A and B are shown apart, each in its own frame.
Chain A
């Protein structure tokens, strides 16, 4: 029983550890506290039920009940008994929280704040996993399977962070899982009664079996590999997961059950922001463009029965090369490069980043920010736009009506047309209206223009913010009949109608230019949020049309290809018009001064627009190649240095040993002065070491049990027998080393260096080409020595850690307890 309770506690702790990845999603740690409470309650009840020997189903029921009680206490609805006994109203509250959590998931990007619905769903999930893990690990004794529910928790950040997941929480979770496995297996082994060891001695109760060391090392290596490998593999970016996520998301309607987290209902937030009574500055944008078109951040291009929706964007990091729109330049299309700096305030927090269409280069944005070239939006799955400041270069394209008229209709099987003209089932009123509008129009542009002009004051359309929002088929019909709405209805209705006419269209979201302007800096508030229509023309791209009446939208602009249909009306829209007209005069000066005000970095970046300024890649390649070569050359250089040092030693010796130093004594034997003897010894040793290295290099066996004489004899016998000079040289080297090691007087004055050279030459002549190459480039002697040194040091390290561990184990609480129990 005690061991079961142990495993139960470990299972609970492992569940909490496995929940660590959720920390990447929440802004604060409230979730952890609440999850810990729920898990603790579940584990406590599980232990209690086991104490009374309840059957397995009883344990599960008890744990589920405990989870419900914990949830009731943590998320009160006010109608509980004794604050933790749930009533039917509590469950209604739970259902609300659940629905709310779905909505919150869509409306918040990571990291999310502590909202009750999100905390509720988190605690529910972690608690549920705790129940499952306890059931699997303790009830069924299958702790390996408990990894699956734990993995389920880990999959949440994986789904949210599309391109990469922080590795540290994974390590924590994996550690928890391994802990659970280890506890279970230790328990299993202990049931054998006697514990096995690798080295034949007994193991105390407190002590880990030496056999477990291999398992621990394997586990550490496994986890490290699992973390490091995905980090090392390049190109694990958004693509695959993102399309999967987009494919499985099932709608984002109000009633929506499910839907992928992090998706934002653009229309809902737009309506919400526009209806807010208090005005907050969201964005401050400075641009070199005299009268910029709208700043945009999102696109809804998926038309479902309940309206236009945003698809999950997918793309490449924004700080790499962005697609170049100038390829599409043609007659009647004018493209001008500008530069803008955007400063997002604290009030705007979303995973999308407002930019002008179409950015070609960005500064100050890291690779967590991605650019979707189709939707032309900048987004991130990990970061947040809050408090961010960044600059970008963009190309503004303007079109003449003639150019648009010249664009050919897209072929019916073109993917863009197939995808972006889809409407969910025919709406008869719309079909009829479109038919009447496009009748007799010969080009796409004329058809679009006709639909665009339909939303004019002449046709009775007017602007009012307090309209029922929505963009579903029925909402569109209502709007077309009532002719009262705001930008959402205008943009969606026009896109719908254009699609019905067989031309790709979508709804874009962004900011108008607003009414607060200082030089060429625009301060944009929540009231400047706007939606408009974009229509696709073959060979030209996406062209914006804003059908919303200008008087309803402060700071709206119109273009040459979509003139203001209500221009005759002398009402508030003129503010926008005057703004526009005033722009050229105002911007010429301020642009310059503003450039001067910018820090040098931006100034340089501005100058760096020309392609020549782009940093060339080849120096890096060359440097890398050189570094690699240098790395490869290190062994050979080391060998050369060694040979030179030994060579100079031996040569110096030959020079020093002049006949004057040696006097013939005792019948021809030489008596050598002591200092010279030491030098001669060192020389002989150097020459011998060099000879051994040479042997290793040319793959002649070197035997540690052989004496110098035996080695020289073997060398003569096996390797250099054909070469008389080399035979003499080898014997000389052997004799010199032997005398230096074992005799009273070493040999002096012998030509050791030429002898070495002779042996080396003979060996090289005998070796095959591969051996020669290896000896020159990657000398085995050096590599061997390094390997030996590495092995030695690691061996020392193991011994040191072993001793340290033993000392630490002296204070192991388990050992102390066991000792006391034994006493």
Chain B
């Protein structure tokens, strides 16, 4: 088995081919998940941004189905881990076993050695097991018994979890949450979609009839194309402003990490590319702020008491934050320059 390393991605895809390939995947998934185009596209964008996806919603809205549909649409290695309370880290990463024939220890790869890893009900496993994912998600490698094994590209962890059950679950630690590029909620389907679902899923599970419309090579090329999307300085500045705002917000105990900035921009690139643009807009960042940032931050006790969700806090920040002063802006622009409004003078205490 050839080890595809992190940076070995394919060649660039022309605009039209990119569009065709990505649209095919989206359309394929939509055969299973009706009426959730935005969610599906976001999931695909996370894949193209080389990130990991956390799907969090109430039971029965199709979390696992989305994960499986995405996995099936791409012809690549897919593993599924059902996170149960007795799951062990070695079940995830792999284990060295003694081979009596060769009289040697032999590494038997765990579930993470695949292009797509679907982790179901991830919060039901103990933190010990959850933390087995830390290294592979960020560094795309697994170290067992002092030996480091590279993972393939593309590599994506799609995890699902149920937010309302508290007993018998282990909430993800901050470090683990920070490794997920985006957290998305499925949401209930609208009336028409639900009716179509009843019709479609009446007899057979459409998931079974799903054919792969893409493969790992094409995905690698898609990823390479996404990396080429142009990000203007102003957009970069805006991303920094957004993340900084979460760090300075009075409602938040913990702001977003620099990794969040990086993943925000990466995802924005992917979203822009999926929309057929070769440049990122602040609009992309605004749309991605909640999925990408909200699960990484921790509100203060006061904000929690006031029942302010992190989603609400982030979207309020987005609505409050002015666009950055563009270096190429017109000299006639009426809007006053942004500033934090504090007087630069602060008397020094003797």
List A residues at the B interface (Cβ < 8 Å). Answer: 201-202, 204, 642, 645-646, 666-667, 669, 681-682, 685-686, 688-690, 692-693, 696, 702, 704-707, 709-710, 738-744, 781, 784-785, 788, 792, 795, 798-799, 802-803, 806, 819
Please tell me which one of the listed residues B235, B332, B338, B345 contacts residue A689 in the complex, with CB atoms under 8 A apart: B332
Query: Which residues of chain B come closer than 8 Å to A739, judged between CB atoms?
Result: 279
Indicate with 1 or 0, residue by residue over B307-350, a CB within 8 angstroms of chain A CB atoms. 00000000000111111001011101111101000011101111
| Segment touching A, from B162-170, B250-258, B281-289 | B281-289
In the complex, B230 has a CB within 8 A of chain A:
yes
Within the complex, what minimum Cβ distance (angstroms) separates B55 from chain A? 28
Query: Which residues of chain A come closer than 8 Å to B329, judged between CB atoms?
Result: 685, 741
CA distance A690 to B318 in the complex (A): 26
In the complex, B232 has a CB within 8 A of chain A:
yes
Contact in complex: A806, B232 (CB < 8 Å): no
Please tell me which one of the listed residues A202, A692, A709 contacts residue B334 in the complex, with CB atoms under 8 A apart: A692
Please tell me which one of the listed residues A204, A702, A742, A743 contacts residue B335 in the complex, with CB atoms under 8 A apart: A702
CA distance A682 to B235 in the complex (A): 18
Contact in complex: A682, B330 (CB < 8 Å): yes
Interface on chain B toward A: helix, strand, loop, or mixed SS?
loop
Q: Check A742/B279 contact, CB under 8 A, given A682-B330, A705-B320.
A: yes
Contact in complex: A781, B334 (CB < 8 Å): yes
CA distance A802 to B343 in the complex (A): 10
Within the complex, what minimum Cβ distance (angstroms) separates A803 from chain B? 5
Please tell me which one of the listed residues A202, A689, A788 contacts residue B330 in the complex, with CB atoms under 8 A apart: A689
Contact in complex: A686, B332 (CB < 8 Å): yes
Interface on chain A toward B: helix, strand, loop, or mixed SS?
helix
Query: Which residues of chain A come closer than 8 Å to B286, judged between CB atoms?
Result: 707, 710
Contact in complex: A704, B345 (CB < 8 Å): no
Query: Which residues of chain A come closer than 8 Å to B323, judged between CB atoms?
Result: 704-707
Query: Which residues of chain B come closer than 8 Å to A806, judged between CB atoms?
Result: 345, 347-348
Chain B interface bracket (under 10, 10 to 19, 20 to 34, 35 or more)? 35 or more
Contact in complex: B345, A802 (CB < 8 Å): yes
Q: Check A799/B343 contact, CB under 8 A, given A692-B335, A705-B319, A744-B278.
A: yes
In the complex, B101 has a CB within 8 A of chain A:
no
In the complex, B213 has a CB within 8 A of chain A:
no
In the complex, B16 has a CB within 8 A of chain A:
yes
Contact in complex: A744, B279 (CB < 8 Å): yes
Query: Which residues of chain B come closer than 8 Å to A689, judged between CB atoms?
Result: 330, 332-334
Please tell me which one of the listed residues B278, B347, B349 contacts residue A743 in the complex, with CB atoms under 8 A apart: B278
Query: Which residues of chain A come closer than 8 Å to B344, judged between CB atoms?
Result: 799
Contact in complex: B321, A201 (CB < 8 Å): no
Contact in complex: B350, A204 (CB < 8 Å): yes
CA distance A707 to B338 in the complex (A): 15
19 CB contacts below 8 A, A to B, read A202-B349, A667-B15, A681-B328, A686-B332, A689-B330, A702-B335, A707-B286, A710-B283, A738-B281, A742-B280, A742-B282, A743-B277, A743-B279, A744-B278, A784-B334, A785-B334, A798-B343, A802-B343, A806-B347
Q: Check A819/B278 contact, CB under 8 A, given A667-B14, A686-B330, A741-B232.
A: no
CA distance A798 to B349 in the complex (A): 20
CA distance A819 to B349 in the complex (A): 13
Query: Which residues of chain B come closer than 8 Å to A799, judged between CB atoms?
Result: 343-345
Please tell me which one of the listed residues B278, B281, B282, B349 contacts residue A201 in the complex, with CB atoms under 8 A apart: B349
Q: Check A744/B328 contact, CB under 8 A, given A692-B333, A692-B335, A799-B344.
A: no
Within the complex, what minimum Cβ distance (angstroms) separates A742 from chain B? 4
* Listed residue (B279, B320, B332) with the most chain A CB atoms within 10 angstroms of its CB: B332
CA distance A669 to B323 in the complex (A): 28
CA distance A709 to B277 in the complex (A): 14
Q: Check A742/B281 contact, CB under 8 A, given A705-B323, A707-B323.
A: yes
Contact in complex: A741, B278 (CB < 8 Å): no
CA distance A645 to B283 in the complex (A): 30
Query: Which residues of chain A come closer than 8 Å to B279, judged between CB atoms?
Result: 739, 742-744
In the complex, B234 has a CB within 8 A of chain A:
yes
Contact in complex: B334, A667 (CB < 8 Å): no
Contact in complex: A685, B328 (CB < 8 Å): yes
Query: Which residues of chain B come closer than 8 Å to A642, judged between CB atoms?
Result: 332
Quick one: which of B254-298 are within 8 Å of A by CB?
Answer: 277-283, 286
Contact in complex: B343, A707 (CB < 8 Å): no
By beta carbon, the residue of chain B nearest A682 is: B330
* Listed residue (A669, A707, A792) with the most chain B CB atoms within 10 angstroms of its CB: A707
By beta carbon, the residue of chain B nearest A207 is: B347
Known A704-B335, A781-B334, A819-B350; 10 more pairs at CB < 8 Å = A204-B350, A666-B15, A682-B330, A685-B333, A693-B334, A702-B334, A741-B232, A742-B280, A799-B344, A806-B347
Query: Which residues of chain B come closer than 8 Å to A692, judged between CB atoms?
Result: 333-335
